[in-house]
Amino acid sequence: MKTKFNGILTLLLVLFVQITFAQEKTISGTVTDEGGPLPGVNVIVKGTSNGTQTDFDGNYTLKATTGNILVFSYVGMETIEKTVGKSNIINSTMAGSNLLEEVVVIGYGTASKKDLTGSISTISTDDLQDKPVADIAQALQGKSAGLQIVSTGGRSGDGTQISIRGNGSLSASNSALYIIDGVPQESMGSLSSEDIKSISILKDAASTAIYGSRASNGVVLIETKKGRYNQETTVSFSTSYGLQDIIKKPNLLNAKEYKQVLDAARINYVNDIASGALPGPKNPTELTPLPNSTIDTDWLSLVLRNNPVIQKNQISISGGGENTKAYLSGSIFNQDGIIINDSYKKARFRLNLEQKLNKYVNIGVRSYFSYSEAVPVADDNNTY
């Protein structure tokens, strides 16, 4: 009797397994968003480890049974759940999620913006792309509260100094500390705006403490772009061309007006001598009136250049394979100054390369090269 019962039980188990396998089928479909097919979406049977990812065209295939729930998830998108029914094709359209928190790059990694206790501001790199400037610091003017950008000179190619929340020293440097890809720098002159991935301005002691006393005037934290693993090679080119001009030129005296001013000063001087308020001149010719002149010279037109050109060309290449990712860029910047013969040229080259040796070890290099050439003009009553 016991043997007969075991046989019936075995038969029932085999029948149940056959029914279960009979219900399992291949499910396929396409996942899209508003821009088209969406690669890399996780498709998982809810409550199991059975899952897959969509390919480059947004397609997926996996085994599931009727009644199972498929979970579609992707970073930045709302998660979608769909129940397996009679159809073997299940498509899904994903929409953006508003649940992502804004992340801010800080000295020791990243943090959610709502969790920050220090004074940190971020600057969108989109605001910097259309600024054809020699020094990227000039493009930051007006982008962050408490950030003051001061040019060190009026000639083409002259650098800038960044002050965060005013000057902190009477005699020492008031310039901020620049950290580019984790390396302290004296300036941002080696950077092109197209190479920047993120900019964070660290303003107070709480946010700059990791850098010690060198950060007493604040920190400008910059991360440059890198390639991505398994990314198709992407080539980007940008160019800008502009003309410069003086908004308001000074209204200078002509020869007749200049003589009138000097004659009035001479008469006042003679009257002061006559009244004894001033001693007589050591050189009597100082009392001689200027001769009348009909020659007027427009000195500004002889010194200033008419609509000087400022031009910038940038090209970048990024991509990566399974174990390698790279970003390569080069740019050329030319600027003619508003003074004749004043000119500035600068070439930049950057390489960010990373190689994955195994799941634990990565090696890489971040290097840049810049070359500048300037033809300066005399200023501040100096001669060369």
pLDDT of residue 101: 53
Checking if the pLDDT of 20 tops 50, the result is no
pTM, whole model, 2 decimals?
Answer: 0.59
Say whether both 286 and 368 belong to one domain.
no
Among 164-168, 226-230, 291-295, 305-309, whose mean pLDDT is lowest? 164-168
For residue 76, the enclosing domain spans 20-93
pLDDT of residue 155: 72
Domain end: 93, 118, 146, which one? 93
Give a yes or no: residue 340 inside a domain. yes
* Total structural domains within the chain: 4
Higher per-residue confidence, 108 vs 247: 247
Cα(205)–Cα(209) distance, rounded to whole angstroms? 6
Give a yes or no: residue 270 inside a domain. yes
Say whether both 210 and 330 belong to one domain.
no
Say whether both 35 and 118 belong to one domain.
no
Say whether both 89 and 118 belong to one domain.
no
Checking if the pLDDT of 292 tops 90, the result is no
Say whether both 183 and 279 belong to one domain.
no
Domain end: 93, 116, 141, which one? 93
pLDDT of residue 102: 55
Say whether both 138 and 150 belong to one domain.
yes
Say whether both 181 and 47 belong to one domain.
no
Give a yes or no: residue 151 inside a domain. yes
Among 43-57, 167-181, 244-258, whose mean pLDDT is lowest? 167-181
pLDDT of residue 345: 92
Say whether both 177 and 295 belong to one domain.
no
Higher per-residue confidence, 270 vs 12: 270
Give a yes or no: residue 111 inside a domain. yes
In the chain, the percentage of residues whose pLDDT exceeds 90 is: 17
Higher per-residue confidence, 139 vs 89: 89
Say whether both 111 and 218 belong to one domain.
yes
Q: What is the mean pLDDT of residues 172-178?
A: 74
Q: What is the mean pLDDT of residues 80-108?
A: 75
**Which CATH number is 186's domain given?**
2.170.130.10
Give a yes or no: residue 274 inside a domain. yes
Domain end: 30, 59, 93, which one? 93
pLDDT of residue 354: 92
**Which CATH number is 62's domain given?**
2.60.40.10
